[in-house]
Structure formats: structure tokens, C-alpha cells
Amino acid sequence: MRYRTIGSNPATRREVSVLSLGAMLFGTATDEKTAFAVLDRYVEAGGTFVDTSNCYAYWFKGSRGGESETVLGNWRRSRGVSGEVVIATKLGAGPLADGTGHVDNAEGLSAGAIRAAVAASTKRLGVDRLDVLYAHIEDPKTELAETVGEFGALVNEGTVGLLGVSNHWAWKVDRARNIAKAAGLPGYELLQYQHSYLRHRTDLPSALSQDGEPGAVEGNLLSLLRAERDELTLVAYSPLLGGAYVREDKPLHAGHDHGSVPARLAALREVAKEADATVNQVVLAWLMGGEIPVIPLVGASSVAQLDESLAAVDLELSPEQREMLDSTR
């Protein structure tokens, strides 16, 4: 396993594995026994960065979220895991009632909602301090200053380590960071968005985001990451597009239906053949070793799926292979 540092403040920054494990379906689609096996294998391979949210997975029948955090808490206790594994969670998208979702009835990012969500997450995870906390989706009803102030206060109190943001417009991320800086408060240092070798059309909402809000990385966000590369880290969710790179039964989302797709898929397959690797492994290696280093966030419903992703950590693309991938349009 390889590692990188997240966070710029010496008091709160952490070293984590370059591949993050997503726990979204643990406790719903993936039963606890299987989840434990996947987590055990991940840690055995040197993995130290696990991702969840307080709303996972509310869309399953009989759920309002919290199952994933509960499974992670059970695993931590049963294995005696403590600070060596960094667990990141999110808040803001939890539905307030059964049968509703984050689009029409989300808990939001008010100071009160944040405090309540943090208390519930720490209890489910069985921790006194959240390693990483993200603002999951935008909350148009709450002023940015209120959200930023509450997040910063949680870090200063020692309740939270590092702060992140997901699925927000780039200008709102930048504005929130400026508000925090002006107030002398900790600000967002991790950005979690959908990102992969095949780029999503910017004129369509991502299938994995709130309609009308950004879920996929776009040019303005990449520009922000380049300008603030010493302070910001991109964590890329759904880097393998839900299996669409390799499975005919998993078609690409409509947002990937544009002119560059055939040529870029052909380039991926050629590099995979040269490197004696799978297409998925090439995608992950391309993300981890790019101009803007990315931490891919991969899900796994079996140890075999996880092992394929873990093998990508040791895959070094040659300069010629990377040039082929980067230059294909």
C-alpha cells in the first residue's frame, strides 16, 4: 500500500492510504458478515481510509440511513480498531422522515442539524471524535457562514478532525473557504466528487447527485484544485462508474454519452493490454498518479472485487501510456 497526507494543518492532518474504501451499502445491500470480510481484507492490505455517510442507505426499504455507520461501529469494536483507520462520514443529506429523500426533505446544514447529526454519527460509529466530516450536499436554506462557523467550531472543540465538502458548486466551496479563513476557522480541505477517466457532460446533472447540483468534477473545480493543491485533496467517488467500464449489463449514464467516449475507451483497453492489467485497474492508476493526485473511493461487495482494486495501487503507468490516455479526446 502507498500513503499520502490529507490536510495542511500539522495539528489535524492525517496520513491515509491512496485508495479509499466506500462503505455505502454496508448493512443494506451488503450484509454485515460480508462487510466485515471486505473491511478485514482492506486493512490487511494496508488500507486506512474508509468512507460513509449518515444517510447510507436510506433508499432501501425500511431504512432511513445510519446502517453503514452502525456496521462500521460494530466492526471497529469487534476488531479493536481505533485511530489507525481513518473513517470519514458526511451529514446534510439525511432524510427527515420515512419515504423521503435528500432532494425534497434533507436535514440540511444548519448549526442545529449539524450538531444533531454529529452526535448520532459518533454514537453509531462508537467514537468520541470524527476523523473526517463532510458537508454532503448543498443547503440553500442555510447561510454559508452558519455552516462554516459550526464546522469550524467542531474542529476547534476537538469533536472533528478534518473538514470536507461534497457535491457543491466550485464557487461555493471557494466562498466557504474564504469565510472560514476570514474568521480564523478551519475550512474544507477534502473535496469529494464523482470523477473518472470518462468525464461527465457539464450540461447535465450527475446521476449520482441532487438534480441541478454538481456531483461530477468539472473545469472550475479542477482549476481550484490546481491553484490550492497544497491545501486541497480530491476524493473521487464512483471512479469505476458502477461497473460500466467492463460490464455490458451496466450501461454508461446518459451524461457520458458524448464524442470522446469511444476513443477514450479504446485507449484504456490498449493500455490495459500493454500493462497486463484490467481496465478498472488502469482507471484507478490513472487517477492516483495524475497531475492532480486523486484518492479513488471504491466500493466492494466481495473480497474478490476489492482485490482487483487493491492491485491498482502497485500499477505504474509509463509516461507513454499516461500520455496516450491524457491526449485522447
Please check whether residue 172 lies inside any domain of the structure. yes
Q: What is the pLDDT, as a whole number, of residue 206?
A: 64
Which uninterrupted H or E stretch holds 145? helix 144-157
Distance CA 286, CA 292 (A): 10
**Which range, 72-76, 198-202, 251-255, has the best average confidence (pLDDT)?**
72-76
Q: What's the pLDDT tens digit per position in 46-67? A: 999 999 999 999 999 888 899 9
Please check whether residue 133 lies inside any domain of the structure. yes
How many distinct structural domains can be found in the chain? 1
Within 8 A by CB and 6+ apart from 141, the residues are 108, 110
Please check whether residue 274 lies inside any domain of the structure. no
Is residue 107 within 8 Å of 113, Cβ to Cβ?
A: yes
When comparing pLDDT for 30 and 199, which is higher? 30
Q: What are phi and psi of 244, to 5 degrees?
A: -65, -20
Q: How many CB atoms lie within 10 A of CB 2?
A: 10
The end-to-end CA distance of the chain, in Å, is 32
Q: What is the mean pLDDT of the chain?
A: 93
Please check whether residue 189 lies inside any domain of the structure. yes
Give 291's DSSP letter. Answer: S
What band does 101 get if pLDDT is binned at 50, 70 and 90?
Answer: low
Judged on CB neighbours under 10 Å (0-12, 13-18, 19+), 244 is: middle
Q: What is the pLDDT, as a whole number, of residue 216?
A: 87
Domain of residue 10 covers 3-254+281-318
Q: What is the pLDDT, as a whole number, of residue 242?
A: 92
Please check whether residue 272 lies inside any domain of the structure. no
Q: What is the pLDDT, as a whole number, of residue 100?
A: 65
Q: What is the rounded average pLDDT of the residues 137-154?
A: 97
Q: What's the pLDDT tens digit per position in 185-221? A: 999 999 999 999 998 887 766 655 555 567 889 899 9
Q: What is the pLDDT, as a whole number, of residue 207?
A: 53
pTM: 0.95
Whole-number Cα distances in Å, 66 to 62, 159, 171, 191: 12, 19, 30, 22
Please check whether residue 122 lies inside any domain of the structure. yes
What CATH code is carried by the domain that includes residue 184? Answer: 3.20.20.100
Q: How many CB atoms lie within 10 A of CB 100?
A: 13
- Grid coordinates belonging to 33: 458478515
Residue closest to 301 by CA, chosen among 79, 65, 23, 69: 23
43-47, 251-255, 258-262, 289-293 — which is least confidently predicted?
A: 251-255
Please check whether residue 270 lies inside any domain of the structure. no
- CA 126 remoteness from chain centre: 21
Torsion of CA 302, 167, 225, 50, to 10 degrees: -30
Please check whether residue 267 lies inside any domain of the structure. no
pLDDT at 323 over 70: yes
Q: What is the pLDDT, as a whole number, of residue 61?
A: 86
